[in-house]
C-alpha cells in the first residue's frame, strides 16, 4: 500500500517553455504532499509543501511564481515549472503521507528527470 | 541551525559488513529514518527509529541513541546491489524532515 505515482518520469523541454509534473497518491488520501529537487550527487532539497485546498508553503529561496503548485484534490498535486531555463534541469521528486499518519515514513514517487535545453 | 552529518562516501567488499553513521542536531526529535537511493531513482524507505536501541530488518539494522544525537545503519552480507546512496533524515519538533547529504556506498567484488 501507500503508492505514489509521479508523471512524467522524464521530460526534455526548450528554454522558455513550461512543464507540468503530476504527483498522485494511488491508494490513499494525502492532505499534504512534498516537492523536492535533487541535483547530481546532492541530497534532497525541499522546495515546497503542497496543501490540499489551500496555498502551498514554499521554502526560503524558492520562487513561488516560477514553481507553481496546485493541490486540487486529496490524491493529486501538480508542480509546474514556468519559463524553464537550463538551470532548472534537475531531478524533481514528490512525496506524501496518508492522512493522519504523520509519524509514518514518506512515500516517494519515482521522480521526474527534467532537462531544459 | 539544524544539521545532519554523515560520511560522503564509503567503500566495502561484497559479503562484508559496513556501518554508516549519522549524527544530528535538530530542533526536537520525532524519529529518524534511513532511506536507500539508487542513482537516478527516488529514495526507498529502509528503517525508522524513534526509541533508543537497535531495529533489525533482515540484512539491515539501524541503531539510535537520542542522548548522543547518533544513529547508524548496519548492512550485513553486502551484495553488489547494495551500492547506492544512503540518506539519514530526522523529523523535528514541527514534523519537518531534515535530510542528510547522503552516503554513497561503493561495493567492490
User: pLDDT tens digits, residue range B51-95?
Assistant: 999 999 999 999 999 999 999 999 999 999 999 999 999 999 888
Contact residues, chain B, for A34 at CB < 8 Å = 97
Share of chain B above pLDDT 90, in %: 86
Q: CB distance from B88 to chain A under 8 Å?
A: no
CB distance A19 to A7 below 8 Å = no
Query: What's the mean per-residue pLDDT of chain B?
Result: 95
Q: What is the mean pLDDT of residues A72-89?
A: 94
CB contact under 8 A, B45 and A107: yes
Residue B104 has pLDDT above 70, yes or no: yes
What pLDDT, on the 0 to 100 scale, is given for residue B26?
Answer: 94
Grid cell at residue B50? 524513534
A99: pLDDT confidence band, cut at 50, 70 and 90?
confident
Residue A1 has pLDDT above 80, yes or no: no
B2: pLDDT confidence band, cut at 50, 70 and 90?
confident
What pLDDT, on the 0 to 100 scale, is given for residue B1?
Answer: 75
Residue A102 has pLDDT above 70, yes or no: no
Question: How far away is chain A from the Cα of B59, in angstroms, using its nearest Cα?
Answer: 20
Q: What is the mean pLDDT of residues B29-57?
A: 93
* Nearest CB to B45 within list A43, A44, A105: A105
Contact residues, chain B, for A108 at CB < 8 Å = 42-44
Least confident of A53-62, A102-111, B53-62: A102-111
Q: CB distance from B42 to chain A under 8 Å?
A: yes
CB distance A58 to A41 below 8 Å = no
Residue A109 has pLDDT above 80, yes or no: yes
List phi, psi (to 5°) of B82.
-80, -10
* C-alpha to C-alpha distance for A72 and A114, rounded to whole angstroms: 23
Strand boundaries in chain A, DSSP class E: 4-7, 10-13, 19-25, 32-38, 45-51, 57-58, 67-73, 76-81, 90-96, 107-108, 112-116
Residue of A5, A43, A89, A96 to mutate when probing chain B, most B C-beta within 10 A: A43
Grid cell at residue B89? 533524515
Residue A101 has pLDDT above 90, yes or no: no
Q: CB distance from B10 to chain A under 8 Å?
A: no
Question: How far away is chain B from the Cα of A9, in angstroms, using its nearest Cα?
Answer: 10
What pLDDT, on the 0 to 100 scale, is given for residue B31?
Answer: 93
Q: CB distance from B79 to chain A under 8 Å?
A: no
Closest A-chain CA to B45: A105
Higher pLDDT, B64 or B40: B64
Amino acid at each position: 500500500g501507500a503508492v505514489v505515482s509521479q508523471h512524467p518520469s522524464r521530460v526534455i523541454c526548450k528554454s522558455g517553455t513550461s512543464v507540468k509534473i503530476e504527483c498522485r497518491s494511488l491508494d490513499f488520501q494525502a492532505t499534504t504532499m512534498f516537492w523536492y529537487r535533487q541535483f547530481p550527487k546532492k541530497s534532497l532539497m525541499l522546495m515546497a509543501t503542497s496543501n490540499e485546498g489551500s496555498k502551498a508553503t514554499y521554502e526560503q529561496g524558492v520562487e513561488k511564481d516560477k514553481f507553481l503548485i496546485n493541490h486540487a484534490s486529496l490524491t493529486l498535486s501538480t508542480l509546474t515549472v514556468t519559463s524553464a531555463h537550463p538551470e532548472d534541469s534537475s531531478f524533481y521528486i514528490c512525496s506524501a503521507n496518508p492522512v493522519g499518519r504523520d509519524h509514518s515514513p514518506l512515500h516517494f514517487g519515482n521522480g521526474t528527470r527534467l532537462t531544459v535545453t | 541551525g539544524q544539521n545532519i552529518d554523515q560520511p560522503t562516501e564509503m567503500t566495502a567488499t561484497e559479503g562484508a559488513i559496513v556501518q554508516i553513521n549519522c549524527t544530528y542536531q535538530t530542533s526536537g526529535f520525532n524519529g529518524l529514518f534511513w532511506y536507500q537511493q539508487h542513482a537516478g531513482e527516488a529514495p526507498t524507505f529502509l528503517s525508522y527509529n524513534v526509541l533508543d536501541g537497535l531495529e533489525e530488518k533482515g540484512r539491515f539494522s539501524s541503531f539510535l541513541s537520542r542522548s548522543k544525537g547518533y544513529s547508524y545503519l548496519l548492512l550485513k552480507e553486502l551484495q553488489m546491489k547494495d551500492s547506492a546512496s544512503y540518506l539519514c533524515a530526522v523529523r523535528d519538533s514541527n514534523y519537518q524532515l531534515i535530510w542528510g547529504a547522503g552516503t554513497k556506498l561503493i561495493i567492490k567484488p
